[in-house]
Amino acid sequence: MRTAVCSLLIAAAALVPGSVLCGEATSADLRLRIAPNDTVRYAWSIASSSESRGKERGRAFTLTTDSNFGMNLSLRGLAGKRENPAPATGAKADGGRAAVRIQDLVYTDKRSIENSKTELYVSKGRIKYVENGKVIVDSDNDIGLDRFTEYQQHVRAVENGEMRAWLDAAGRQSDIQGDPALVETLKSGGAQGIFPILSGKETKLGEAWEDTFSMPQIGEFKLAKPAVVRSKMTFSKWVAKDGKNLAQIDVSTAWDNQELKGENDTGLLVEISRVDGGGAGSCLFDPATGHFVEGAINTNVKYRIDGERDGQTTGLDVTGKTRFTFTEK
């Protein structure tokens, strides 16, 4: 689940002085600002599925997964000034310090390999785990909780924790502090892959900008060297919605074709090759308030995993797809 949570520090807050918006405006002030005590809340979700085909100990198998993750995310502006601020290139020294909270976690994970099926349900600290139709863990009925004690503690720590970070005008974060469980979860997610990085300045209609971000983990494997994902954002058009003129930001992403090495929690070392991934979507941003309003991004990825365990080689061809969505509440 830790990799599902994706990081989550690109949304924002506060009144943004600037252009008077109208249907004929040729530019928009795409700056992020965090005002003290201003709070922005989002309903956020990620749905993903994958299919892995390969061999282990000479036996062919197919593993399918289907997971859904949802939560409520809040960002609250904090008082204080930063010494020696470092704004993004071309951006004004805006931004601010924000506190991030995650609440109401809901997570489901279904896996199938040959004739074996497992289902995991997590909701607000409650856990249920089923293997081939048999309940193995059920927190409501005090069944098998010793198997998921650490997992349950991590979920509670994430929901009870708070993270603080500086955000610049484009939404890039730095000086991250706070509860270790929440900080680790958000940092490993790669926030830029969910909410786009803004231009951080007055931006012309049709203008584009680029960014790169790192993925320290693929699936269950922590990477020795992070995967690199390149993104391109474009202010594509104005959208009238609920009496507001919103800037639509189109997003496209592409993974670098790298040779990667990873390790999972059991110590299995693998090589990850033939990486081919990308995504596309769009978000609506309100220049009058400085808030992201909503967005949806779809991604697809393929890669090859090769490893060795107990003298036996394992090879997997993996294909996966993911859909991220968020809506301001």
Question: Do 70 and 106 contact (CB within 8 A), yes or no?
Answer: yes
What's the confidence (pLDDT) of residue 191? 41
- Dihedral-angle region of residue 265 (phi above 0 means left; psi in -120 to 50 means alpha; beta otherwise): alpha
Return the domain boundaries, the chain: 27-328
Q: Which pLDDT does position 181 carry in this prediction?
A: 75
Calculate ∠ Cα 33-34-37, nearest 5°: 150
DSSP 92: -
Written as tens digits, the pLDDT of the chain (329 aa) is 333 333 332 232 222 333 334 445 899 999 987 788 889 999 989 899 999 999 877 788 999 999 998 989 888 888 876 544 444 444 445 667 888 888 888 999 999 998 899 999 998 778 999 999 999 999 889 888 777 777 777 777 888 888 888 888 888 877 878 888 777 766 654 444 457 889 999 999 999 999 988 888 888 889 999 999 999 999 999 999 999 999 999 999 999 998 999 998 888 899 999 999 999 999 999 999 888 999 999 999 999 999 887 777 778 999 999 999 999 99
* pLDDT given at position 94: 66
Is the pTM higher than 0.95? The answer reads no
Q: Report d(CA 143, CA 255) in Å as an integer.
A: 42
Number of CB atoms found within 10 A of residue 41's CB: 16
SS3 category, 109 = strand
- Scored b (16 or more CB within 10 A) or e, 143-160 reads eeeeebeebbebbeebbe
Tokens of 160: 């009870």
Residue 186 belongs to what H/E stretch? helix 180-189
CATH architecture designation of domain 27-328: Roll (2.30)
27, 20 contact by CB (below 8 A): no
